[in-house]
Amino acid sequence: MSQLIYNTFDYEVQPPRLAPDYKSTVLRAPSKPLVVVKQSLSELTGPVFGDFNLGEFDHDLTKNSIKNGEPMGERIVVHGKVMNENGRPIPNTLIEIWQANAAGRYVHKVDQHDAPLDPNFLGAGRCMTDSEGNYRFYTIKPGAYPWGNHPNAWRPNHIHFSLFGANITNRLVTQMYFPGDPLLQYDPIFLGVPPKGRELLISTFDLSITEPNFALGYRFDFVLRGHQATPFENV
């Protein structure tokens, strides 16, 4: 590990700091050039949660906060693989998940959208990739919700993810969208990503993992920053 040099962000697909159509970037994006530094031990290490004690239903958002019944909405199962740019699967890595409920309401106390909370749905979960980098979790398809960025602004349906990967250069917080969502073309957060990267954020409907009489399946793969090949390994 110590000899690997990890790739930096690929700005052909990564969003810029400042994206004025997404208004809150204007006062929050760093304005001075980033200082490029050589990677050292601090950058080439990071937290490992391979032994984090996941709760029994952490990977099932339809079950992990039931109070008096089933959560409302369309049950879905989401799966995929976590890899790096070299195409190597990343096993035993933690994925954190959070989202709105089917009505487009977040449990977060600041969210004042006039849509119902669901007493049986928190909207938070976690899962771990297996030895081949695969993950899977169950949830309710999140609803769209309005926000104040511009007149009649609505966020497309999306699920938030947080991943750690091999070290802190791999850190990724992102959002997964759904195929065919008409709101994508108006969303400055999605459109903040350069055109080449946008389709990477849209999941695909997957009949092969759709569970009969139970849940629609979607596939979404994560690709974390990779590293330059060294003479000592076959990548």
Partner 1 sequence: MLQTPSQTVGPYFAYGLTPEQYLYDFKSLSNNELAKPLDEANVVMVVGKVFDGNGDVIPDAMIEIWDTQHQRFGRFGTGTDPQNRFIFHTFKPTSVDGQAPHLSVIVFMRGQLIHSYTRIYFEDEAELNAQDEILNAVPTDRRNTLIASKNAAGYEFNIYMQGENETVFFEI
- Give the per-residue contact string, 177-216, with partner 1 (x = CB under 8 A; - = no): ------------xx-xxx-xxx-xx---------------
**Site membership for partner 1, residue 143 (CB under 8 A):** no
Near partner 1 by CB under 8 A: residue from 98, 121, 135, 218: 98
Nearer to partner 1, 4 or 210 (CB): 4
DSSP 118-177: -TT---EEEEE--TTSEEEEEEEPPPPEEESSSTTEEEPSEEEEEE-TTSGGG-EEEEEE
**Which residue from 71, 85, 76 is spatially nearest to 5, judged by alpha carbons?**
85
Near partner 1 by CB under 8 A: residue from 56, 110, 180, 231: 110
6 is catalytic: no
Near partner 1 by CB under 8 A: residue from 59, 141, 225, 227: 225
**Which residue from 174, 177, 173 is spatially nearest to 154, judged by alpha carbons?**
177
158 is catalytic: yes
Handedness of CA 55, 60, 61, 66 (dihedral sign): negative
**Site membership for partner 1, residue 234 (CB under 8 A):** no
Please name the residues in contact with 37: beta carbons below 8 A apart, sequence gap of 6 or more. Answer: 43
**Site membership for partner 1, residue 1 (CB under 8 A):** no
Handedness of CA 64, 46, 192, 7 (dihedral sign): negative
Near partner 1 by CB under 8 A: residue from 76, 90, 97, 127: 97
Rg, C-alpha atoms of the chain: 19
Q: Which stretch binds partner 1 (CB under 8 A): 69-77, 129-137, 160-168, 209-217?
A: 160-168
**Site membership for partner 1, residue 123 (CB under 8 A):** yes
Tokens for 36, please give them: 């490029």
Please pick, among 6, 22, 106, 177, the residue that the annotation labels catalytic.
Answer: 106
Please pick, among 88, 160, 171, 198, the residue that the annotation labels catalytic.
Answer: 160
227 is catalytic: no
The 10 Å CB-count burial string (b at 16+, else e) for 28-48 is eeeeeeeeeeeeeeeebeeee
Near partner 1 by CB under 8 A: residue from 4, 49, 91, 186: 49
d(CA 174, CA 160): 6
Please pick, among 79, 105, 126, 158, the residue that the annotation labels catalytic.
Answer: 158
Near partner 1 by CB under 8 A: residue from 60, 72, 86, 144: 86
Q: Which stretch binds partner 1 (CB under 8 A): 78-86, 129-137, 211-219, 227-235?
A: 78-86
d(CA 3, CA 12): 26
Active site residues: 106, 145, 155, 158, 160
